[in-house]
């Protein structure tokens, strides 16, 4: 059964989905509402053409610039620096941050060949020079790479006349920002410390 | 971001996929090879039109009758009775069974309103009357419903002049046939007992 095997093979290429789970999902898809399959299939095929990165902050958006960068009700004196576009969603759902974002596109990781030149630091410095930011909140992951990136940010931002803060601990060390629950995120935002 | 939220919502409707996993998968799909998304999307949209149930045995197939029912090298004196189409794959990959299959479409479960009339027993009796089967192997799940179904099968097949066997224990009780590993399946096939 080529079609079934191909579907199982494709599903098992998704992160965290092994061959057994892929089979279970495939069997489910064979027996489920056909309309659901059409919708899911279409959504997967078209997601990349619908979602792009905001040309200002780098987060995911359907319209460029994104809803956050164009929202005049947000506090334009605060800039939160994050590794990945999805961290925007994690931080906004905490409900305690009303500033802007800047997505680096990763963290400095010399072992994997990710030096500062591969991340959007140049764009960040330009934004800070041209904007009215009073505070930069570093929200890189509490990992070795995130810490290295935070130190690098502290170094390049020290003469920019902005206050530099970092999310308070409360985040589990060695973890990934995206996995933290809302309450933990909210607490670490409220208790952010001078860096 | 409607498109992203819609994709996450659709993914989280898959069995075993919660909102966090759905988000992870969605972010992966945004960043992965676009060709992969097109293939996976197409496979999901079209799987139901490609896979049907074999009109003889009831298992999943792309051509009707299925590859197993039309395979003249298989032992046509053995018939293995299973609950679900996917159990065919589980049993054939064990490599120790070379007979035919019959899919019941479930197990007798009075509490959920699944009586014998909802399963393919009539078709089974017709197959046995018209075929040359010498042995019927009952491979229903080792659950209460599977055991009830096995007893019912024993009852309706007792005057058919076929030997009735059942997969040996070795399968974890309360589990699901589909989850068992190949070795366990192989051992339970080899050690099948008269029922």
Q: What is the CATH number for B20?
A: 1.10.8.420
- Say how far apart CA A193 and CA A179 lie, in whole Å: 21
Closest Cα in chain A to B37? A45
Q: Minimal Cα–Cα distance from A104 to chain B, Å?
A: 15
Q: Which two tokens stand for residue B129?
A: 């009357």
- ipTM of this complex prediction, to 2 decimal places: 0.78
Match 């809302």 to its residue by tokens: A182
User: Model-level pTM?
Assistant: 0.76
Whether residue B69 sits in one domain with residue B41: no
Whether residue A65 sits in one domain with residue A17: no
Q: Which two tokens stand for residue A33?
A: 């509402």
pLDDT at A172: 67
The answer to whether residue B55 sits within a structural domain is: no
The answer to whether residue A55 sits within a structural domain is: no
pLDDT at A173: 67
Closest Cα in chain A to B35? A45
User: How many Cβ contacts (< 8 angstroms) between chains A and B?
Assistant: 135
The answer to whether residue B102 sits within a structural domain is: yes
Query: What's the number of domains chain B is made of?
Result: 2
The answer to whether residue B147 sits within a structural domain is: yes
Whether residue A187 sits in one domain with residue A168: yes
Neighbour-count burial for B113-146, b at 16+ CB within 10 Å, e otherwise:
ebeeeebbbebbeebbeeeebeebbbbbbbbebb
The answer to whether residue B41 sits within a structural domain is: yes
Whether residue B84 sits in one domain with residue B8: no
Whether residue A132 sits in one domain with residue A66: yes
Which chain A residues have a beta carbon less than 8 Å from that of B177?
none
Q: How far apart are the first and last CA of chain A?
A: 59
**Out of A3, A25, A42, whose CB is closest to B62?**
A3
**Out of A23, A24, A44, whose CB is closest to B29?**
A44
Whether residue B100 sits in one domain with residue B22: no
pLDDT at A12: 96
pLDDT at B170: 64
Closest Cα in chain A to B67? A1
Which domain CATH number covers B174? Answer: 3.40.1360.10
Whether residue A86 sits in one domain with residue A19: no
Q: How does DSSP assign A149-195, residue by residue?
A: HHHHHHHHHTTTT-EEEEPPBTBPTT--GGGS-HHHHHHHHHT-EE-
**Out of B4, B16, B21, whose CB is closest to A60?**
B4
pLDDT in tens, chain A (195 residues): 689 999 999 999 999 999 999 999 999 999 999 999 999 999 999 999 999 999 999 999 999 999 999 999 999 999 999 999 999 988 888 888 999 999 999 999 999 999 999 999 999 999 999 999 999 999 998 888 998 999 999 999 999 999 999 887 667 667 777 777 777 787 677 777 777
- Say how far apart CA A79 and CA A94 lie, in whole Å: 16
Domain assignment of residue A38, given as a range: 2-50
The answer to whether residue A76 sits within a structural domain is: yes
Whether residue B135 sits in one domain with residue B157: yes
| Spans in chain B with pLDDT lower than 70 | 1, 169-170, 172-173, 187
The answer to whether residue A64 sits within a structural domain is: yes
Task: Please count the other Cβ atoms lying within 10 Å of the Cβ belonging to residue A194.
Answer: 7
Whether residue B152 sits in one domain with residue B66: yes
Peptide bond into A65 cis (omega under 30): yes
């Amino acid at each position: 059964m080529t079609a079934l095997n191909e579907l199982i093979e494709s599903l098992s290429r998704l992160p965290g989905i092994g061959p057994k789970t892929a089979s279970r999902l495939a069997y489910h898809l064979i027996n489920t509402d056909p309309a659901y399959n059409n919708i899911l299939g279409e959504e997967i095929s078209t997601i990349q053409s619908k979602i792009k990165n905001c040309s200002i902050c780098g987060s995911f958006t359907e319209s460029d610039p994104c809803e956050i960068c164009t929202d005049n009700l947000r506090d334009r004196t605060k800039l939160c620096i994050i590794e990945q576009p999805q961290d925007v969603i994690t931080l906004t759902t905490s409900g305690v941050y009303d500033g802007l974002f800047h997505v680096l596109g990763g963290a400095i990781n010399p072992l994997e060949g990710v030096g500062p030149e591969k991340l959007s630091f140049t764009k960040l410095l330009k934004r800070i020079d041209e904007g009215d930011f009073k505070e930069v909140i570093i929200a890189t992951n509490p990992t070795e790479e995130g810490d290295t990136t935070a130190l690098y940010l502290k170094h390049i931002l020290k003469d920019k006349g902005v206050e530099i803060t970092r999310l308070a601990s409360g985040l589990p060390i060695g973890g990934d920002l995206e996995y933290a629950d809302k309450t933990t995120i909210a607490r670490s935002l409220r208790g952010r410390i001078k860096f």
